[in-house]
Amino acid sequence: MSVTASLFVPLRADSARPLITYYNDATGERVELSVATLSNWAAKTANWLRDELDIQPGDPISVALPAHWQTAGALLGAWWCGAHVVDVASKAEVALVTADNPVDTAATVAVVSLDPMGRGLREVPTGAVDYISDMRVHGDDFHPYGPVDGAEPALQSLSVDDVVCAAKATELRPGDRVLSTVDWTLPTGIVEGLLAPLAAGASIVQCANLDAATRERKISTERVTAILDADGITRLDG
């Protein structure tokens, strides 16, 4: 099975629960995504990649995006259709980038707006496409043509099986609320910051530009049970 089928699809049995809560203290953003909402984003992305861009299992997609709820949907969608997530230095069929980080080496450059309301771009850069506007017209569920082989490349040099195994090797527990400031670097940051919580059945409180003055309040209001930062995992509940 693909990374997404292995680590995310089982969570859809409890589709209403919050899965990713995203804060950006620099802008005042707080966005909360349920399992169902993230599933829709991932499915639309997978359908767009496969049906519109003809991405097949093993095809490389470069990702140059921050730790963000839209990035989660893009990554899970890419893996769902079997894509190989690589960095921007690699030759790719599709490059997922932000507007201030253009890449022109891919066959298709898709700009991700990171808009807090999920809106597309006001102006699409020349030669690029608007990820949100393009993918949102696709279906809310994804049906793979067939299983993705565990030996297929999934994340940099890691295969599907490697990624799933690494994500499951975590100290996190089912039901954990994980406050994370880890950036989703390839491959370690993505495995530790996004996939390990999913594998554990935990949920993520992802904080960008965390203001130290708001940290304790977030821990309390979000019922955080573990902290994930550059030093690893710190449990708050013993």
Decide: 202 and 178 in contact? Cβ < 8 Å.
yes
Domains of the chain: 3-235 (3.40.50.12780)
The pTM assigned to this predicted structure is 0.96
The predicted model gives 6-23 an average pLDDT of: 97
- pLDDT at position 104 is 66
- Give the integer Cα–Cα distance in Å for 238 and 150: 36
Decide: 106 and 93 in contact? Cβ < 8 Å.
yes
Question: First CA to last CA across the chain, in angstroms?
Answer: 34
Residue 63 has pLDDT above 90, yes or no: yes
- Give the integer Cα–Cα distance in Å for 84 and 233: 28
- pLDDT per position as a tens digit, 69-119: 999 999 999 999 999 999 987 789 999 999 887 666 788 999 999 999 999
- Give the integer Cα–Cα distance in Å for 209 and 113: 18
Closest CA to 203 of 54, 91, 35: 35
Output the six-digit token pair for 103. 């890449």
The predicted model gives 129-155 an average pLDDT of: 96
- pLDDT per position as a tens digit, 184-231: 999 999 999 999 999 999 999 999 999 999 999 999 999 999 999 999
Q: Report the mean per-residue pLDDT for the chain.
A: 95
The predicted model gives 131-137 an average pLDDT of: 96
Length of the chain: 238
Residue 238 has pLDDT above 90, yes or no: no
Output the six-digit token pair for 82. 């079997």
